[in-house]
């Protein structure tokens, strides 16, 4: 045992424990900062992604109206289950809001195209090479959906969209449109 600066006796493990605590707090802060970028009220990170047709899309170019931005993967069953809801939302707000889908597994392009054709997905599917946009938004689970107002700020976020979430999402988009 040795005495530390405050007169307490330690076995030498205290500095290691303190270092671990500091590292843990630093990691939590980094995670919190990443998620804070996509919390309601935060400015949504702009991006530049190609869609399935090869056209480049920019978020800022879409912000003349609200944007429903969803993150998707072909292997994600809940992602596929919410597609009919997103199609309904796209149809409902066709000229007043934009639905964009960011696919985070573009290496499965054939599967993405097959899903888009078989479900007649009318909204653009964007390919997130290297998951850079997913990281910029702090997406930790799929699906994740953001409602972004024309001011470029995140208005709301959703995990999986079912009937109840769809109702809330529609109300949120209608509220943004009416402003």
Catalytic residue chosen out of the listed positions 4, 33, 79, 101: 79
**Percent residues over pLDDT 70 in the chain:** 79
Active site residue 33: no
**Same domain assignment for residues 20 and 108:** no
pLDDT digits (tens, 9 = 90+) for 64-114: 999 999 999 999 999 999 999 999 999 999 999 999 999 999 999 999 999
**Same domain assignment for residues 23 and 96:** no
pLDDT digits (tens, 9 = 90+) for 8-20: 455 566 665 655 6
Tell me the residue range of the domain where 28 lies.
Answer: 2-36
**What pLDDT, on a 0 to 100 scale, did the predictor assign at position 6?**
38
Residue 115 domain-assigned?
yes
Active site residue 76: yes
The residue that leads in pLDDT, 104 or 32, is: 104
Residue 42 domain-assigned?
no
C-beta separation of 144 from 159 below 8 A: yes
**Same domain assignment for residues 62 and 105:** yes
**Same domain assignment for residues 8 and 52:** no
**Same domain assignment for residues 118 and 152:** yes
Sequence-ordered list of residues with C-beta below 8 angstroms from that of 32, at least 6 positions apart, any chain: none
Ramachandran class of 50: left when φ > 0, alpha when ψ lies in -120 to 50, beta otherwise: beta
Query: What's the structural domain count of the chain?
Result: 2
């Amino acid at each position: 045992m040795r005495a530390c600066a405050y007169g307490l006796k330690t076995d030498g493990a205290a500095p290691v424990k303190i270092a671990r605590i500091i590292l843990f707090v630093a990691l939590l802060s980094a995670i919190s900062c990443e998620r804070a970028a996509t919390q309601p009220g935060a400015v949504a990170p702009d991006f530049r992604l190609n869609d399935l047709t090869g056209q480049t899309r920019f978020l800022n170019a879409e912000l003349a109206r609200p944007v429903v931005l969803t993150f998707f993967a072909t292997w994600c069953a809940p992602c596929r289950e919410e597609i009919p809801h997103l199609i309904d939302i796209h149809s409902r707000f066709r000229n007043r809001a934009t639905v964009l889908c960011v696919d985070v597994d573009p290496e499965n392009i054939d599967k993405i195209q097959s899903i888009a054709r078989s479900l007649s997905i009318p909204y653009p599917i964007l390919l997130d090479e290297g998951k850079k946009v997913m990281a910029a938004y702090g997406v930790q689970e799929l699906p994740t959906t953001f409602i972004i107002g024309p001011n470029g700020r995140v208005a709301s976020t959703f995990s999986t969209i079912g009937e109840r979430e769809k109702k809330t999402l529609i109300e949120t988009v209608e509220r943004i449109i009416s402003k």
